[in-house]
A and B are shown apart, each in its own frame.
Chain A
Amino acid sequence: MIRVGIFALVALGVATAASAQDATTRALELERRGDYAGAASAWRTHLAARPDDLSALMGLERALTPLGRLAEMIAPMQAAVQHDPSPGVLGVAIRVWTAARQPDSARVAVERWAALEPASEMPYQEWGLSAYSARDRTSAKAAYVLGRQKLGRPDAMAAELGQLAAAEGDYAGAAREWSLALRKVPGYRGAALGILGQVPPAGRSALLRELGKDGDLAGDRLAAALLIRWGEPLAGAKRITAALTAAGNGGVDALQEVLDDLRTSSTAEHYAARAMVLELMGDRAQGPQRARIRLEAAQAYADAGDQTAARRLLATLAGDPAATPSMAASATSTLVSVLVDEGGVEEADRRFRELAPILGAEDRQRLALRLALGWIRTGRLAQADSLLVADSSVDAQAVRGRIALYRGDLALARTMLTEAGPFTGDRPAATERISILGLLQVIEEDSLPALGDALYRLERRDSAGAATALMQLAPTLAPDHGGSELLLMAGRVHAGTGHNAEAERLYRTVVEQGVPASAAAAEFALAGLLLKTARKELAIAALEHLLVTWPTSAVVPQARRLLDVARGAVPAT
């Protein structure tokens, strides 16, 4: 009989547990389907049997919230508190009383929870967050301030108060609170950046002034990160370097943090900021690491276009005993590039010849190409050619083809540019090479020094001289043997220098000459020019004329796309 009784009790217990599990599953399913009224009813039934079930209490809270019937939570919540005044249940009580606008009752629940966990911020956080969710910022602030007083810690709930201050437009207050929060928990950095990053431009100066006051490096680090985020990388770099110079030799982790932030973009200003930070890091490093970082800084200065700063750092590296041979070679290599960009080709050439024996083949070819381009720009075609004569790479062929072209040796240029192929170099260089090859094919001459002179002027940025030379040469060739193409090229040069009227005249002349490939390209260029000068209807007419007259031209897809843009049929991208 006793055994039967035990079995019965066990069976009853299992059945009750299974039934509770079923009720929970059913309530959750109703919630998932959006049947909140049904879910609330199911949770309520469950709570009638088990009033202390926290998950059911929270389920009822979830279901009643979208129905706008949170007031119905009061009775089951009070029953739960009576059975089990644990922190979880008291948290529900705080939320329900706050939603019901009964702050005194909410405070009682907060105090009961605080009595259970006297060192915890959580009761006050729960209260503040509930009030904040109900858009009652005043009560939220009062909850956090009360918590700070009761706990006796000036940095308690700093992140919460920082968020509130930012929402209320008190940016100086937000700066103070987030500085406190970051000193206590550095992991708050992401949250601080997320919230303070949204401060509108008008409020930023007040925020930045407050951050880092009294030599607080955490505040300066945050300020630097914010400046970078707001698109002021140089200001960010200056902020951190100034703070660290004052702080002495430490702060490498702060510099690394700023470097990481600066990696998000590749503008000249970002490179300059990176260079500044790297230089400071180099000053703080020792031995080979110092040389490596300085080399990186010099490269960043060069990428930013600040050749003077790059050369200054590279000069210090040359005499640095800690620099390894490979670092010294890299430094000299960078210096050669910097000198070429600055126009100091003679010195670059001297350093290159000194360095060449110890360079790897690939680096030697890369530098020789760069140097050759420098010689071309300074008018020394023979010097340039001599650097590349032993190089059979396609990159060298491409540059030697250009040298032949500038000398007027069209036959050799044609051969070398063809050998260079359509994929050598970057895209603009490859495109330019293909268009030059197209020009050489229609001209069919083997030697034409006047053309080489005109194109060399263009290379050396003498646009006016190049355009004049092209216009003088064009009439000496038949339109379908390069005459039209040269006029079109002259038109493009004029358009590029803002001489729109002359460009338009030349384009129209080429269209009138009617050589298919040149005329279609000229009409396309004309349409672009007309659009640029706000003559949309004329541009549309030109494009329609092009599409109907030269339907098989290579520019047809671009022309059709431009026509769609001109008509507003597709977004301009």
Chain B
Amino acid sequence: MKRRDFVRAAAVGVAGIRGAGDSGIRIAPSRRSTWLLVPMDETQGDHLKAYGVTFRVLERGSKAEWFLNYRNGSFLLPADTTTQRDAAVAGVSATLLDDGQAAEIRAELAQGNMDAVPLEKAPKVAVYAPPNAAPWDDAVTMALQYAGIAFDKVWDPEVIGDRLRTYDWLHLHHEDFTGQYSKFYLTYAGAPWLQEMVDRNQRTARQLGFANVPAEKKAVARTISAFVERGGFLFAMCTATETLDLALASDGVDIAASFADGTPMDVAAADKMKWDRALAFQNARLELSPSMAVYSEIDGHQVNSPDRRQPLGAFTLFNFSAKIDPVPTMLVQNHRQVIPDFYGLTTSFNKTALKPGVTVLADEPGAPWAKYIHGERGQGTWTFLGGHDPEDPQHQVGDAPTDLSTHPHSPGYRLILNNVLFPAAKKKELKT
């Protein structure tokens, strides 16, 4: 095929791109298609890659819109050749629209619990992960790589060195900010990966001038909190949620076991916690046993405590008013309202431990815990999602990696990607 033929094919014959509506009728040549509607309902060919296509539109300096609650959170993109080609290569379903058809949809948005949120600028994304982190053991890293969203990895030296100022969005996954190596120290004693983790953390703490790993991680947690205060967007999953808050609230309090810092945990630590410094949680009792991979009663499921472990159920996303509460509305856009739950070192958040003012985005009806929560701190926001991997509910150390090409419609992973695009909407005046 000649190059000009290829370019022509890219412009008009792309996969999954249809004319107006779902009829597959192509638009007449006299009507100019200026928009590409990416539906996010059941007709979408690859929900996760749709976020990547939208993100890359923003990266190229173009604008997009997020149609909240319209066909489960569709995107309106410019119908330029590059975007159409990108959608075709990614297998993302899209429909060509002219200006009149786009106006009709806007009129429909105005009538119901829907809204159009402009997306203006691709956020600069950082993922907090140690240099030797396994590439397929972090749901956000996997989602970003699958969707094709560019990101940098940062770790303690970059955080302490104030590099977070150069990013808009930061993700934390299963880091233990209490500095206790996920409390795997006794269970996996002798495992080479744990030894490597301990050595690396201790070396880094020394290099950065801290007496021990728990002290260093507390400093990292404070820097992350300051990043949010300044206007950053923080998204955390799994045990990073709980331990970040424990590290923030335990300033001056020894909550680490002796294997981590040489001294046993202060048994009266719970009474000395400064919960006002935490982002989401308060007044939680702490786990005193160094051999139990549990930190506190914040986690509702307690997966590593045989006596206290709760079975997995399903969580339900809340509905919000798109026009009044666009931020939580963005965070819950999905083609499924009820999503099977998944374990993590921290799986869920006991509602009794939530601070007043925290917005619950999803919970398990009838259960005392929330799954997905959101809040503000200073100029910025944070969002916590419990659990480790939405498509590996029983995740164990050493499990085979999740292959997202077999889960292109994962509703759990969509929640992660909602968070990545949400900062792009920041410039619109938000009511929440």
Task: Tell whether, in the assembled complex, residue B89 and residue A563 are in contact, meaning their CB atoms are under 8 Å apart.
Answer: yes
Interface assignment of A567: CB less than 8 Å from any CB of chain B: yes
Distance between Cα atoms of A547 and B88 in the complex (Å): 7
Q: Is B15 an interface residue (CB 8 A)?
A: yes
* Mask of B381-413 contacts with A, CB within 8 angstroms, 1/0: 000000000000000000001011100000000
Closest chain A CB from B78 CB (angstroms):
18
Nearest B residue to A547, CB-CB = B89
* Total number of B residues with any Cβ neighbor in A under 8 Å: 39
Which stretch, B24-32, B229-237, B288-296, B316-324, touches the partner chain A? B288-296
Contact yes or no, B6 A67, CB < 8 A: no
In chain A, what residue has the closest Cβ to B297?
A34
Chain B residues 277 to 316 lying within 8 A of chain A, measured CB to CB, are: 285, 287-292, 294, 297, 305, 307-308
Using A548-B89, A569-B146 as known contacts, say yes or no to A34 and B305 having CB atoms under 8 A apart: yes
Q: In the complex the two chains form, is A545's CB within 8 Å of B6's CB?
A: yes
Per-position 1/0 for A74-108, Cβ under 8 A of B? 00000000000000000000000000000000000
Query: Which residues of chain B have C-beta atoms less than 8 A from A544's C-beta?
Result: 85, 89
Asked whether A564 lies within 8 Å of B405 as measured between CB atoms, the reply is: yes
| A364 at the binding interface (Cβ < 8 Å) | no
| 8 A Cβ contacts from A510-562 to B | 511-512, 514, 519, 543-545, 547-549, 551-552, 556, 560-561
Q: Are A34 and B9 in contact (CB under 8 A)?
A: no
Q: Which residues of A contact B380 (CB under 8 A)?
A: none
Whether the Cβ atoms of A551 and B148 lie closer than 8 Å is: no
The listed residue (A32, A33, A547, A569) touching B15 by CB distance below 8 A is A547
Closest chain B residue to A36, Cβ basis: B288
- Complex Cα spacing A561 to B251, Å: 48
Q: What is the interface of chain B mostly: helix, strand, loop, or mixed? A: loop
Q: Kindly state the separation between the CA atoms of A321 and B425 in the bound complex, as whole angstroms.
A: 88
- In the bound complex, residues from chain A placing their C-beta under 8 Å from that of B83 are none
Query: A568 contacts the other chain (Cβ, under 8 Å)?
Result: yes
Q: Does B94 contact A (CB under 8 A)?
A: no
Task: State A173–B135 Cα separation when bound (angstroms).
Answer: 41
Expressed in whole angstroms, the minimum distance between the Cβ of A7 and any Cβ of chain B is: 41
Interface string of B62-105 (1 = CB under 8 A from A): 00000000000000000000000100111100000000000000
In the complex formed, the residue of B with least CB distance to A37 is B267
Compute how far the CA of A445 lies from the CA of B179 in the bound complex, rounded to whole angstroms: 74
User: A514-B1, A571-B403 are known contacts. Are A551 and B15 too (CB-CB below 8 A)?
Assistant: yes
The residue on B at minimum CB distance from A557 is B91
* Of B6, B10, B16, B91, most A-chain CB atoms within 10 Å: B91
* A552-B15, A567-B148, A573-B403 known; A32 vs B91 contact (CB < 8 Å): no
- Cβ of A570 and Cβ of B146 under 8 Å apart? yes
Closest residue of chain A to B406 (Cβ to Cβ) is: A570
Bound Cα distance A352, B14 (Å): 59
Interface residues of A in 302-335 (CB under 8 A from B): none
Given A68-B264, A556-B15, A36 and B289 touching (CB < 8 A)? yes
**A interface residue numbers (CB < 8 A to B):** 32-37, 66-68, 511-512, 514, 519, 543-545, 547-549, 551-552, 556, 560-561, 563-564, 567-571, 573
Known: A34-B294, A567-B148. 19 other contacts (CB 8 A): A32-B308, A33-B308, A34-B288, A34-B292, A35-B285, A66-B292, A544-B89, A547-B91, A548-B9, A548-B14, A548-B88, A548-B89, A549-B6, A551-B14, A551-B88, A552-B15, A568-B135, A569-B405, A570-B403
Residues of B within 8 A of A (CB): 1, 6, 9-10, 13-16, 85, 88-91, 135-136, 142, 145-148, 258, 264, 267, 285, 287-292, 294, 297, 305, 307-308, 401, 403-405
**What 8 pairs between A and B have smallest CB-CB spacing?**
A551-B15, A66-B289, A68-B264, A571-B401, A32-B307, A547-B89, A569-B145, A570-B405
